[in-house]
Structure 1
Amino acid sequence: MNWLKEVFKTEKPIIAMCHLQALPGDSGYDQEKGMEWVIEKAREDLHALQDGGVDAVMFSNEFSLPYLTDVKKETLAAMGRVIGEIKSEITVPFGVNVLWDAKASLDLAVATGACFVREIFTGVYASDFGLWNTNCGETVRHQHAVGAQNVKLLFNIVPEAAVYVEQRNIREVAKTTVFNCRPDALCVSGLTAGESTDTQILSEVKSVVPNTVVLANTGCRIENITTQLSVADGAIVGTTFKKDGKFENGVDYNRVKAFMDLVKEFR
């Protein structure tokens, strides 16, 4: 697990989500405000997160609802433009997540210089987005083909809004995923964005893969973060950093700082 501290320069890192507004082609895209507004909102959130003390940021097309598992070219192009426009202002390690397309995430990481991606790399699911299949072997070969060998792969093993076609115990999923796929980290989630990750599930996962990084992936709040970090090796945090703790809102610097002050005291 040495890579975690090498990349994030701290134990128990907090990776903050920088949710991009709806992009061209998305149902919620605001054509009147255009891409300049999308870029400015991303810039505002980035600075609030960095100024508040987070250890890293991850850019995702969170408002591209409903999500695709084969993302359109215009989405990838738009995300590349947003990150490119504000990259000189990024002062912490950053990653990308193109929802929900693992190869596209790797392509964006190479294009922008991101050092990690989070995705659904393994499994077959019944989901809100239809029957959802993956091909980890093909994706990892694509990773090497595009020169993304040094990009860390964060495997989400409890996909939001989806269940395995064949029900499997989370301990089995974690163990076989690590054995077969060699992930850099496992991300353990709640049911939806902002839904707490069960500490018991975190403990179960960590117990069977003690030498693999395990991250709390959703629902980390100031009320539970020290409990989560007592088990997890770090956390990915989005909704709780928003104004009033609401998914739809922009990032609130004061909420970020209060959260990170507590994390730093815990560390």
Structure 2
Amino acid sequence: MKSSQLFQLEKSIIGMVHVQALPGTPKNKYSLAEICDIAVAEAKTYEEVGLDAVMIENMHDVPYLKGSVGPEITAAMAVVAKAIRDAVQLPLGIQILAGANKEALAVAKAANFQFIRAEGFVFGHVADEGYIDACAGELMRYRKTIGAEDIAVFTDIKKKHSSHAITSDVDIDETAHAAEFFLSDGVIITGSSTGKAVYLHELKCLKDKIQIPVLIGSGITADNIQEYWEYASAFIVGSHFKEEGYWENKISEMRLQNFMKTVKRLANA
């Protein structure tokens, strides 16, 4: 599947569902059934207001494991994913933290999701979980093995919450080219941490330099999306839709509706 086929519009808004802490993780306080209900309610809110896609991730599962997760996490995410798939008609994506890209792909395949977000696709970096090595070769072979070639793999480059000192001589342009060469379906760029805006000069560097879509993965708000609008194909938004703009809070329907009014104005300009 071409990544452009995932979304109906040239500029797509992807709403983030931060799945509540799963059973077995330190902050868990809900049953799996309750976790599903909360996630489904958020996904349906996003669909009702007119977003183009929804993505889920296990962001409440701090502290994160590195590079893989236990079978209980993969199984729980599959249950949540299936519940959302049954509830909404939008394209759906998944990320499993931290860097559990094969697990995310397996869940996406099982639950009929359309894309995953993968960390550490090309080059290595030091994250707060430790060293994350490149995984493109293994991941794309796994996608082929399980017959999941219709699932798009969108890949972070120069990722947030990470040090890139070991690749300081490799700029974002070259990193994006490497991801494209290694068959990424689209690159995701972020600010320094969750909710932090992307550096505009980095985004501008990628315009017309690669043939795959560029997605913005952090820091988009109703106030700044106009600055980034012409430079990206899709915008992953989570924190801004929450009360007080903080990712752990509940969705603010007022913030969500105001954001979509801005998007409609930009789309019609």
TM over 0.5: yes
Shift of 1:231: 1.1
Provide the rounded CA distance (Å) in 2 between the counterparts of 1:43 and 1:138.
Answer: 32
Equivalent positions of 1:57-76 (< 5 A) are 57-68=54-65, 69-76=67-74
- Greater mean alpha carbon deviation, residues 20-29 or residues 79-88: 79-88
CA contact (8 A) 2:81 2:107 kept: no
User: Which residue of the partner structure matches residue 42 of structure 2?
Assistant: 45
Indicate the SS of the match to 2:231.
coil
**Per-residue CA shift, 1:7-27, capped at 9, x if unaligned?**
211111011111100001211
User: Which residue of the partner structure matches residue 255 of structure 2?
Assistant: 255
Q: What is the one-letter code of the residue matched to 1:258? A: N
User: Which residue of the partner structure matches residue 111 of structure 1?
Assistant: 110
2:151 matches 1:136: no
- Greater mean alpha carbon deviation, residues 80-89 or residues 10-19: 80-89
Q: What is the TM-score of this pair, normalised by structure 1?
A: 0.93
CA contact (8 A) 1:102 1:119 kept: yes
CA contact (8 A) 1:126 1:162 kept: yes
Provide the rounded CA distance (Å) in 2 between the counterparts of 1:206 and 1:124.
Answer: 24
User: Which residue of the partner structure matches residue 189 of structure 1?
Assistant: 190
**Per-residue CA shift, 1:151-170, capped at 9, x if unaligned?**
01101002221123231211
Shift of 1:250: 1.7
User: Which residue of the partner structure matches residue 241 of structure 2?
Assistant: 241
For the aligned residue pairs, the C-alpha RMSD in angstroms reads 1.5
Query: Is there any run of 5+ residues in structure 1 with no aligned partner, and where?
Result: none
2:173 matches 1:176: no
2:32 matches 1:35: yes
Cα distance change, pair 169–5 in 1 and its aligned pair in 2 (3 A): closer
Runs of 4+ in 1 over 4 A off after TM superposition: none
User: Which residue of the partner structure matches residue 97 of structure 1?
Assistant: 95
Shift of 1:253: 2.1
User: Which residue of the partner structure matches residue 229 of structure 2?
Assistant: 229
Cα distance change, pair 136–8 in 1 and its aligned pair in 2 (3 A): same
Indicate the SS of the match to 1:108.
helix
CA contact (8 A) 2:15 2:53 kept: yes
Shift of 1:208: 2.3
Q: What is the TM-score of this pair, normalised by structure 2?
A: 0.93
Provide the rounded CA distance (Å) in 1 between the counterparts of 2:223 and 2:101.
Answer: 32
Provide the rounded CA distance (Å) in 1 between the counterparts of 2:201 and 2:162.
Answer: 20
Shift of 1:248: 0.9
Provide the rounded CA distance (Å) in 2 between the counterparts of 1:50 and 1:258.
Answer: 15
CA contact (8 A) 1:185 1:214 kept: yes
User: Which residue of the partner structure matches residue 21 of structure 2?
Assistant: 22
Matched-pair identity in % = 29
**Per-residue CA shift, 1:88-140, capped at 9, x if unaligned?**
21121111111121111110110100011111122211121111112211110
* Aligned length, in residue pairs: 262
User: Which residue of the partner structure matches residue 161 of structure 2?
Assistant: 161
CA contact (8 A) 1:116 1:154 kept: yes
Shift of 1:182: 2.0
Query: Is there any run of 5+ residues in structure 2 with no aligned partner, and where?
Result: none
Provide the rounded CA distance (Å) in 1 between the counterparts of 2:257 and 2:244.
Answer: 14
User: Which residue of the partner structure matches residue 8 of structure 1?
Assistant: 7
Provide the rounded CA distance (Å) in 2 between the counterparts of 1:131 and 1:21.
Answer: 26
Indicate the SS of the match to 2:35.
helix
Provide the rounded CA distance (Å) in 1 between the counterparts of 2:206 and 2:24.
Answer: 38
